[in-house]
Structure 1
């Protein structure tokens, strides 16, 4: 049999990066099948098409891959290209879609969310450009999930996804490929591997924390095998179904082992971490933490030092909540800077249109037009190439950058697992009061403007409304509030705080101390602690 009756499940609405739920939800009878079939239907079917498939190795990923391969065969796909063991980092999947001319791909991941039998799982569809499905497609998928009555799946033994090579499944070819090789080859084309090998040969030391997630094999191949970094440079290098109990989110809270080492007396020269599916990064120098917003700005200012970008940048883009640090670099370079909603799909349109080369989000995501996803190891290699070219450490590079451009003090405060109704009511009240905030003073800060961000795509004219609340204060400070689309339980309120200091004084403060007046003003305006009972956020980055 290939056709099975089913009925809809509630709540199969993809977020900014696909559908994410608790693993037991995905393991319900027909739940995964419904969503995959709805995806196939929404894109006009997969008959005769080539798809890429892989994921971050989290719990249930191998079983889900078998289901999807059999469904692709039953739906008439011509070929599915699968990473060995059903492994592919998200940027590696994007690269394969592009280089193999595939029609799209399915990525099995919940990114930086924990994995395991009781933790999180996710499925997202990427388009032929290698980037996440745009809102029109995700809305069509959601609409189809609400009316689905049957799905198609071949009844057949499981396919051997551990053996590299081709096999037949029904009338479809299953091609199992090395998940690392093509991606590592691409990195060698972009960066000056000769200079990087010289850096490590001269005694440069590094700690790369892969957090028991998918970048482990990639990082070992690139840093230790191809660049000659000492064995053991990559730690937590073995991907595990539950990430070894770790929360694979590369920020100071969850990558605490790396932070402790980098802030210690025996710190290596450079530290970095990546997340569950390999698209995020954290950069740390000896005694120096680099915020994602600052990292994007530094990369933009120094991209010309990297072979792949020696001709200059076409333009840059950042998500609206990301600090304006990169805007100042773009102005100095005389290139365009775009402000988009959160979600990498918005950058994809700009890159496909040739408007930007570099883009980033404050949530530890940085990337370029080499793929259509953010790319954690690419960002690490950008920093290493810049360090090699400048002959400076992270601390010196940051000090020079602040002296030239000033400093955007920045922090994100996350309030996780809030009751959804409570979070919506709080932001609903803020929406009702937005127009009346202008000119009012809070903790000595005067509101210059306030709005709810609405984005009109300059390429296709599509409009994305309700993308977060902005409160701008006189002098360049601001606060942004939005509900995250990446959680699986309750609501996550993200509060983004920013203060600009032009220098030359005041460039070396503790960020939380520098932002204290804005934190207090936000509480006075929104009342997060008063309304939720949360005296402090769950995560500060």
Structure 2
């Protein structure tokens, strides 16, 4: 086998976002595009003598990209690559394999919750030896390398057979093809009371798990149906497909409408859940009641001690800044630390590694704990099942008791997708320019208490992240947050986060959009969304 050194030139725009580099699949398939970015990864982190994990969510181009990455790893001197069978690994499973095998990191091929297919989205990101996404300093170094790269290294070789578990070799590099589910499922058995959950299913408890034709299908079938005894057919859309069956694999009420319709129907099962493209997000639904991600985080934190893996209590709870403050109220009641970080799971890594937090969550349907360094959709579902099996209540009853104890943070996110980037930037620039004069203004009957552009100083390493989202906070505890998302591949996505607190005992059972109406109106007016973007209504409401 020959190692070839291929001349190349920088390709503009290879700047990783909050979760790696994401572009349209034809872009990644373009001449030198994937190779330039992968070589930049290896140039920054080093490959000689190292061991990596490799896998992806099975979307279109996943199989071809895996072969390229393996040949480049060998050419750059890697000693070993652990790859999921069929080049498949959920993102949390990849994080676990990195930690379990004490590797030097891993490359994950995914665009998470974004659609897949020949004309849709693809992505590549690097995870560090702790199993978590590369921090900003590392991704910035990778980006700088893409702007100066002159060559990449690749082995000339036939494709490896990744369909069978076992060991093979590539130009002196060991390639271990592993069952993508087994080690992850074994980890889940150490965290949760599988016996109690099995007994609940045996008693007639019914569930629907929608994997949205994405990567968690095999994990859900193995764990829920085979190990926990859920009825065959509990897991739907459980075969991962390159185009996710034409679905948008984002587990929210808009894209998981079939699940929502079933859970609000006359013959609804007791519990419903969905997961996304790469398995790191989750949506939870009870019979006739939707659980917002912010409420889910708070309920899981308040009840985690019911699961064996968390019986000793939590060290702390962390949430992204746009996530509601519901989890903060739980942490205060438990007497543990609570942390507010920028959006992006990598910001939780230091808190988890330092033992300051045990459970973390984002309003964008991501929840996880210190068992890995990624959010973990199926983990959240299993913790909910463990709680239900112990409390022997419905989801609605658990939520009602939670709000009665802690109050209710009414919360919603409105997404305005594919806005022209220059219009979105102009709107955010104008709003930032107005922040200093907002305090004391009365808008929609609410007095503005403070307004800022969120900045975060990491309590562990002292690093500072600025311009993480514009916040406008009112004296009654309401607030809205505006930020541009880094997870899309076309134009800009404006995310508007809305929150209003009801302390109870009255006003705990309102429709969230009605409860939030004054905050919604204030956000539209102050940000001048229609004026800058031409949009008067969001594309997605969660």
Give TM class, smaller chain. Answer: over 0.9
The superposition leaves residues 272-310 of structure 1 with CA deviations (integer Å, 9 ceiling, x where unpaired) of: 000000000000000000000000000000011110000
User: Aligned-pair distance for 1:529?
Assistant: 1.9
What SS is found at the alignment partner of 2:38? Answer: helix
Q: TM (normalized to structure 1)?
A: 1.00
Look up the match of 1:468. 469
Equivalent residue for 2:26, pick from 24, 27, 31: 24
Q: In the alignment, what sits opposite 1:409?
A: 410
Counterpart in the other structure of 1:360: 361
Alignment of 1:62-141 (within 5 A): 62-141=63-142
SS in 1 for 2:429: helix
| Equivalent pair of 2:185/2:219 in contact (CA under 8 Å) | yes
Give runs of aligned pairs for residues 170-189 of structure 1, distance below 5 A: 170-189=171-190
State how far apart, in whole Å, the 1-side matches of 2:222 and 2:300 are: 24
Q: Is the 8 A contact 2:424 2:532 kept in 1?
A: no
Residues 1:287 and 2:288 are matched in the alignment: yes
- Separation (CA, whole Å) in 2 of partners of 1:475 and 1:244: 45
- The CA distance in 2 between the partners of 1:170 and 1:474, in whole Å, is 65
- Name the SS of the counterpart of 1:2 in structure 2: strand
Deviation at 1:536, TM superposition (A): 0.5
User: What's the counterpart of residue 15 of structure 2?
Assistant: 13
Q: RMSD over aligned Cα, in angstroms?
A: 0.5
Residue correspondences, number: 540
Gaps of 5+ in 1: none
Task: Provide the C-alpha distance between the structure 2 equivalents of 1:180 and 1:343, rounded to a whole number of angstroms.
Answer: 25
Alpha-carbon deviation of 1:530?
A: 2.7
**1:287-366, aligned counterparts within 5 Å?**
287-366=288-367
By how many angstroms is 1:523 displaced? Answer: 1.4
Q: Does 1:214 align with 2:215?
A: yes
Q: Deviations over 1:174-221 (max 9, x none)?
A: 100000000000001100000010000000000000000000000000
The CA deviation string for residues 8-56 of structure 1, in whole angstroms up to 9 with x for no partner, is 100000000000000000000110000000011111x100000000000
TM-score (normalizing by structure 2): 0.99
Cα deviation 1:95-154 (Å, max 9, x = unaligned)? 000000110000000000000000000000000000000000000000000000000000
Cα displacement (A) at 1:493: 0.3
Per the TM alignment, residue 531 of structure 1 is displaced from its structure 2 partner at its CA by 2.2
Question: Which residue is equivalent to 2:440?
Answer: 439
The answer (yes or no) to whether the contact 2:455–2:465 under 8 Å persists in 1 is: yes
Contact 2:426 2:532 in 1 (8 A): no
Partner Cα separation in structure 1 for residue 203 and residue 297 of structure 2: 27
Match of 1:278 in 2: 279
- Deviation for aligned residue 1:524: 1.5
User: 1-side partners of 2:24 and 2:350: how far apart?
Assistant: 31
Conserved 8 A contact 2:454-2:467: yes
Equivalent position of 2:501 in the other structure? 500
Instruction: Measure the CA separation in 2 of the matches of 1:530 and 1:382.
Output: 44
Q: Return 5+ residue gaps in structure 2 as ranges.
A: none
SS of match in other structure, 1:166: strand
Q: Where in structure 1 do 4 or more consecutive aligned residues deviate above 3 Å?
A: none
CA shift at 1:535, angstroms?
Answer: 1.8
**Residue deviations 1:409-446, cap 9 Å, x none?**
00000000000000000010011100100000111111
1:356-402 CA distance string (max 9 Å, x none): 00000000000000000000000000000000110101000000000
The alpha carbon displacement at 1:532 in A equals: 1.4
Q: Shift of the alpha carbon at 1:163?
A: 1.1
